[in-house]
Amino acid sequence: MQVIRSSRIVMFDVDDTLVIWDWQSINPDAVGLVQITNPDANCTELVMPHNRHIQLLRQFKARGHTVVVWSQGGHAWAESVCKTLGIDHLVDICMDKPNWYVDDLPSEAFMKSPIYLDPMNPLKDKRWGIVEETDLEKGEK
């Protein structure tokens, strides 16, 4: 059994969180795109790194958080994305996205609110619930 000895854990999704699939609408010049090998489909995918989320991941790690990256596309896809983006040394666990969780409490009772930083416009950032900027600066989100 693997034991995570940390009360500071942050989870990052892959698709449309660490990498953006529909990059044409926000990056029509195709600047800064990367090719990532999809190990399950045995092909490469062209995606845009979501640099604001990648920077946020770096900040959480620098503040001592355990970093988990997951994807509904599976653990192999998550691992390939992390390696291609050059963040694999910052990630503690790559895994499939969970299908369910079993708990006596709803996730809102023990998890902080989700964050989504707009890839191009900070004015469009989404912070569900109450999230203070100081929480982000401290790495508390």
pTM value is: 0.86
CA distances from 22 to 46, 77, 117, 123 (A): 10, 18, 16, 20
Q: Do residues 77 and 43 touch, judged by C-beta distance below 8 A?
A: no
Summarised one tens digit per residue, pLDDT across range 58-90 is 999 999 999 999 999 999 999 999 999 999 999
Q: Which has more confidence, 7 or 79?
A: 79
Cα separation, 36 vs 81, whole angstroms:
6
pLDDT recorded at residue 57: 97
Cα separation, 100 vs 134, whole angstroms:
31
Summarised one tens digit per residue, pLDDT across range 88-136 is 999 999 999 999 999 999 988 888 888 999 998 899 998 765 444 444 5
Burial of 67 (0-12, 13-18, 19+ CB in 10 A): buried
Q: How far apart are the first and last CA of the chain?
A: 27
pLDDT recorded at residue 107: 87
